[in-house]
Amino acid sequence: MALGRRFVGLRAHGETVGVRLEDATTGAVDEVVAETVIGADGAFSAVAQAAGWPRQRTVPLLQAVVTLPKDLPSDTARVWFLPNETPYFYWLIPESEDRGVVGLIGEDGADTRRGMERFLETHGLTALEFQGARIPVYERWVPPVRRLGGGRVFLVGDAAGHVKVSTVGGIVTGFHGALGIVETVLHGGSSQALRTLRRELGLHRLVRRTLHRFTEADYLRLLDAMNGRARRLLSAYTRDEATPLLLRLCVGQPRFLFLGLRALLTAGLSRSA
């Protein structure tokens, strides 16, 4: 274990990979060699850049810590879909008995900050502190492994873009990607976990493409379609089980499928016009 070091680069080193590390105290640069290198260093991964992966597109995520409104129980979360302000959503999630976090995913940093300030003012909330980050946007599957010399470089988590773009969350998908890397390193060949992850991320991308085209009227229709069977399915499956959840939802309530197709077709006709 090399603590107090900063990653500065990679190079092919025969049958291995040379990893260059800078001592944080002295500034001296040393090199260690390994057959396998795994980059888990976030959305702006230096390992990915050094190994030649393309830079990922990211979106801003902004949160404000607030005092919980008196009408919101500490075991209840709220979500607002306001497509005129963001194609994603606002949320308010309690983190204690008296505090919560208002969050917003946007597409432009300055617009996201203005949207957050406007939302807080509208709802009579005061930010106690702000938190921000940029999150990768999954656009297509990029194999999370590359050869460098005789060694291999892998990416996991945000570094690999393993984020479900429907909600822009990546904890569970990041662990699934890590499991796939473990399978590949230990057993070689293709990984079932990575194949499953690719399918799930693609499905979440389709959901996001659909929701990006939703109007407020579409969201109201979506809520109106929440019959008893749909609510039971949503309580039985998590959003990280997209394939079985969406299949069962469309069978149990076909209006969901019609709403999605309508949004996609309407957008296509608008572009053609």
> Is the predicted pLDDT of residue 234 greater than 50, yes or no?
yes
Do 46 and 154 lie in one domain? The reply is: yes
Confidence of residue 265 (pLDDT cuts 50, 70, 90): low
> Is the predicted pLDDT of residue 214 greater than 90, yes or no?
no
Ranking 20-29, 44-53, 227-236 by mean pLDDT, the lowest is 227-236
* CA–CA separation, 239 and 256 (whole Å): 16
Do 16 and 123 lie in one domain? The reply is: no
Counting the structural domains of the chain, the total is 3
Q: How far is CA 61 from CA 103, 133, 136, 169, 207, in A?
A: 7, 5, 10, 11, 19
CATH code assigned at 45: 3.50.50.60
Is position 83 within any domain? yes
Name the residue with tokens 């500034």: 27
Do 159 and 45 lie in one domain? The reply is: yes
Is position 195 within any domain? no
Do 164 and 46 lie in one domain? The reply is: yes
Mean pLDDT, all residues of the chain: 89
Are β-strands 129-136 and 58-67 bridged in parallel, bridged antiparallel, or unpaired?
Answer: antiparallel
Is position 242 within any domain? yes
Buried b (16+ CB within 10 A) or exposed e, 65-91: ebebeeeeeeeeeeeebebebbbbbbb
Which residues, at least 6 apart from 100, have a Cβ–Cβ distance to it below 8 Å? 65, 66, 67, 68, 72, 92, 93, 94
Q: Identify the pLDDT of residue 224.
A: 83
Is position 205 within any domain? no
Do 152 and 262 lie in one domain? The reply is: no
Do 131 and 168 lie in one domain? The reply is: no
* CA–CA separation, 107 and 103 (whole Å): 14
CATH code assigned at 82: 3.30.9.10
Share of the chain above pLDDT 90, in %: 63
Do 88 and 49 lie in one domain? The reply is: no
What digits encode the pLDDT tens for the residues 179-212?
Answer: 999 999 998 878 899 999 999 999 899 888 888 8
Do 22 and 152 lie in one domain? The reply is: yes
What digits encode the pLDDT tens for the residues 112-136?
Answer: 999 999 999 999 999 999 999 999 9
Do 69 and 47 lie in one domain? The reply is: no
Domain that residue 70 falls in: 58-136
Do 72 and 90 lie in one domain? The reply is: yes
Q: Identify the pLDDT of residue 270.
A: 44
Is position 199 within any domain? no
Q: Identify the pLDDT of residue 271.
A: 42
Residue 245 class from Cβ within 10 Å (0-12 exposed, 13-18 middle, 19+ buried)?
middle
Do 129 and 70 lie in one domain? The reply is: yes
- Sheet arrangement for strand 58-67: 78-80, 90-94, 99-105, 58-67, 129-136
Do 67 and 101 lie in one domain? The reply is: yes
Put simply, whether the predicted model's pTM sits higher than 0.95 gets the answer no
Q: What is the mean pLDDT of residues 35-41?
A: 95
Q: Identify the pLDDT of residue 213.
A: 85
Q: Identify the pLDDT of residue 193.
A: 93
> Is the predicted pLDDT of residue 267 greater than 60, yes or no?
no
Is position 202 within any domain? no
